[in-house]
Amino acid sequence: MFVSIVWLILAYLVGSFPFGLLIGQVFCRRDPRKFGSKNIGATNVCRVCGLKYGLLVLLLDVLKGFLPVYLATFFSDSVCFLSLTALACLLGHMYSVFLYGQGGKGVATTLGIGLALFPKPILLGVLVLIGALWWTGYMSVGSILFVGSLPFWLLLFNWKYVLLGIIIAILVVYKHKSNIYRLILGEEKSWRKSN
């Protein structure tokens, strides 16, 4: 039990590391929390600092979800423990101890979690994201549909993690509440036009 608790704390701390903030300040000398959507995630870093830095943040945020969960599979096959590890990473990213409870929206970290635990459902979700982004031009719409479709894909292909998928979807959609509000007002930034 003690080892499990320590692992979950470590997973939370890994998830908490603010790569977007670090890369923004070190490589382009800009704090992404002060520009664009004011988020430290890959999408905003891409807007603020450029594509290559956005992609770097994307990779690192994916790894934050992937590595702790993947390593956990080597010493446990418990769906409960692996799900808790996944949620610890995700909550760390969303509510970072290093950012006083602030953080990203969890899409890239969700991708990493899914690649470690349920690659087929997560890749189907990515196809939904890409399709929605192409159709609407809004990354936020793609992200919401990505996590929103995840419980469905899990029900079809990996039902043991359906509850995890539902919790992830609720958390990520909640983190997108400001995007949803901007979409309703017609003020959300699209990738198809400069704003």
pLDDT score at 156: 95
First CA to last CA distance, the chain: 51
Residue 194 has pLDDT above 50, yes or no: no
Give the single-character DSSP code of 21: H
pLDDT score at 192: 63
CB atoms within 10 A of CB 49: 23
Both tokens of residue 144?
Answer: 């919401």
Residue 62 has pLDDT above 70, yes or no: yes
DSSP states of 74-138: TT---HHHHHHHHHHHHHHHHS-GGGTT----SHHHHHHHHHHH-HHHHHHHHHHHHHHHHHH--
This prediction has a pTM of 0.89
**Cα 80 from chain centroid?**
20
The whole-number average pLDDT for the span 43-57 is: 86
**Residue pLDDT, tens place only, 136-150:** 988 889 999 999 999
**Do 105 and 116 form a contact (C-beta atoms < 8 A)?**
no
Q: What is the C-alpha separation between 155 and 128, in angstroms, rounded?
A: 16
